Amino acid sequence: MAYATKLTLIHHIAIYVLFYSICASGDDCGVRDNPDVNYFDVQLPEINVPNHLTSYVCQQFKIPTDQAYHAIAFEPIISNHHVMHHMLLFGCESDTGNMDPHLCGSQDQSCGSWLAQWTIGVEGQVCTPPQAGIRFGKNSFQYMSLQIHWNNDGTIQNQTDNSGMRIYYTTKLRQHDLGNVQIGQNDIEIPPLTPSHNTVGSCSGSCTRQMLFQPIYITRSYIHMHYLGENGTFDLYRNGQFVQRISEDLAYLYHKSPIHNHKPPVEVLPGDELRLTCGFDSYSGEKKRNTTLFFGEGSNAEMCYAFVTYYPHAIGFDQCIQFADYDVNCPSSDGRMFGGCNFYDLESSVKGHLLDDIIRACSLGVLCDKNCSQTLRELTTHPCMQGRLGVHSRRTILSNIPSWKKVIIIMDDYRDKCVV
């Protein structure tokens, strides 16, 4: 159950978010003429690009695994600049069974550890810090998965692509394994015509206490929003007290947001809170919107994430996200994940029988009978129907089911006529 909850959000992350990722500028990591450094390429074969504005293609690759390695630099290989929008590299512990290029799907979610990324506009290599590398091979990742986002506006026919990434690696392991963690807020609701709307998403002290067993050191951070992003700040708190600002983008621009390199790295102790605040503007100029904007992938949806690189790698510390006040990736003090809510579970019960049961048990003559109140209670006490989770469930799950409209009327009637 917890697993499914995590998957729901990983899905958002893996499929919606990382796409737009990081924007490095012209780095050269000095790896090309280093005799200790080798490379391999993960690259699509030459294939046709679908005639859709947006396609995601994924392919898994076997990588060297005979010993432990550190990947220390990533270099984009862009064969078709017209369609390449972004590219993400993930590590996988096991074979997903899909070594051919295919449209990305649920099987690719098992490659959930993001390692590197390229986005349109980025030139040159992405380097790891000198004291750390991304471990793979023996006792670590056995495969890597490449995810490519093509943007095909159809102006040129019959396009093909065989883009990919060159990965420079070494057996001379550096002192530390590098990790990447995504921090932010998955419950975003920006009212229309609002000049300044803040959204906060933390990696809470409770989560870092559960997920970290020693201090970590942040070497990079990158704040990601969409078009309404106005400013973002990423702060460190200890025992509820502000310690330092890790990074800030005070005039956020979607297409030009910077990577922040932290020298010296920022020390984070178990129990510290990493707090991201995203400022949105739905009022001014081109940002003006007359409808509410929610979390999501498209240009009419928003995000609030920080992508953070750190060492030493803490196993499992690759996402530390909130939905409203709920920590998505670690249990709360009562031991429950995500308030016990599993959106898949709610979806299958409302689609399966629950709404029909309510309509049957609450038909007019028997509205206030026990059977009606029982079935209604089954819905209203579901963990995913509480608070902000309930708001999300109504909007994204229930509103898509035709019989939900009838159930809303029944619930109103029930409240008016049956509750004393």
239 binds ligand NAG (CB under 6 A): no
CA-to-CA distance for 322 and 19, rounded, in angstroms?
Answer: 20
For position 231 contacting ligand NAG by CB under 6 A, the verdict is yes
Q: Which CB sits closer to ligand NAG, 158 or 239? A: 158
Candidate list 81, 214, 250, 381; residue touching ligand NAG; CB under 6 A: 250
CB neighbours of 298 closer than 8 A, spacing ≥ 6? none
Nearer to ligand NAG, 103 or 193 (CB): 193
Question: Out of 155, 214, 241, 290, which residue is the one contacting ligand NAG (CB under 6 A)?
Answer: 290
Regarding 158 and contact with ligand NAG (CB under 6 A), the answer is yes
Site string for ligand NAG, 339-378 (x = CB under 6 A): ---------------------------x--x-x-------
Nearer to ligand NAG, 157 or 214 (CB): 157
From 380, 387, 247, 392, select the one nearest 305 (Cα to Cα): 247
Q: Where are the alpha helices (DSSP H) in 153-305?
A: 205-211
Give CA–CA dist 267/311, Å, rounded: 10
User: Smallest distance, Å, CB 162 to ligand NAG?
Assistant: 18
Q: Per CB under 6 A, does 48 bind ligand NAG?
A: no
By CB under 6 A, residue 161 contacts ligand NAG: no
Q: Which is nearer to ligand NAG, 92 or 188 (CB)?
A: 188
Q: How many residues does the chain have?
A: 420
Beta-bridged to residue 73, according to DSSP, are 127, 168
# chain residues binding ligand NAG, by CB under 6 A: 12
Cα separation, 15 vs 70, in Å, equals 26
Residues 188-217 interacting with ligand NAG (rule: CB under 6 A): 196
The CA–CA distances, whole Å, from 63 to 9, 117, 185, 410 equal 28, 18, 34, 57
Closest CA to 343 of 394, 311, 399, 384: 384
Residue 249 is a binding residue for ligand NAG (CB under 6 A):
no
In DSSP terms, 184 is beta-bridged to 305, 321
- Interacting residue ranges for ligand NAG, rule: CB under 6 A: 157-158, 196, 230-231, 233, 250, 279, 290, 366, 369, 371
